């Protein structure tokens, strides 16, 4: 019987490959397992299949945007309780943040941000849901 803890699985959705790889690397270094997706449709399929502990998504995705992705994830029993951290490079107002929260985002980070901010938001979300913190 193994006493190793399960590492939390984070699904990172970002259409900018360099940013996605950077996030994945930093999250992995922080003791988290990472799956990646490059658009909203691919992300929904992966989320339903993998059932990650946390979803990190850019809001400005090609195809279905991050808002629509959040709506779909919140409506599906497989992902309805999965915390979502939104990231965006847009000029964001308080109304935009409110919209992201209405669509199911637990937190919103505005680019540019440091990797430690993303790790901190993920850890907060894991703690609030009783998930394991790696």
**Domain spans of the chain?**
9-127
Rounded to an integer, the average pLDDT of 86-98 is 77
Query: What's the rounded Cα separation, in Å, for the pair 65 and 70?
Result: 9
Q: At what angle do helices 115-128 and 17-29 cross, to 10 degrees?
A: 60
Tell me the pLDDT band of 134, cut-offs 50, 70 and 90. very low
16-73: per-residue pLDDT in tens? 999 999 999 999 999 999 999 999 999 999 999 999 999 999 988 888 998 999 999 9
Rounded to an integer, the average pLDDT of 94-123 is 86
Per-residue pLDDT at 115: 85
The secondary structure of the chain, three-state, reads CCCCCCCCEEEEECCCHHHHHHHHHHHHHCCCEEEEECCHHHHHHHHHHHCCCEEEEECCCCCCCHHHHHHHHHHCCCCCCCCEEEEECCCCCHHHHHHHHHCCCCEEEECCCCHHHHHHHHHHHHHHCCCCCC
**Strand 54-58 to strand 107-110: parallel, antiparallel, or no bridges (unpaired)?**
unpaired
Does the structural domain 9-127 have CATH classification 3.40.50.2000?
no
Per-residue pLDDT at 26: 94
């Amino acid at each position: 019987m193994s006493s190793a803890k399960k590492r939390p699985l984070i699904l990172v959705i970002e259409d900018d490959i360099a940013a996605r790889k950077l996030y994945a690397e930093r999250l992995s270094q922080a003791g988290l397992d990472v799956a990646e997706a490059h658009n909203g449709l691919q992300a929904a399929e992966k989320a339903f299949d993998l059932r990650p502990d946390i979803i990190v998504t850019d809001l400005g995705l090609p195809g279905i945007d991050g808002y629509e992705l959040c709506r779909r994830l919140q409506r599906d029993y497989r992902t309805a309780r999965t915390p979502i951290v939104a990231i965006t490079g847009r000029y964001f107002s308080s109304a935009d943040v409110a919209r992201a929260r209405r669509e199911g985002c637990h937190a919103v980070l505005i680019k540019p941000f440091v990797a430690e901010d993303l790790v901190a938001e993920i850890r907060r979300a894991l703690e609030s849901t009783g998930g394991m913190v790696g």
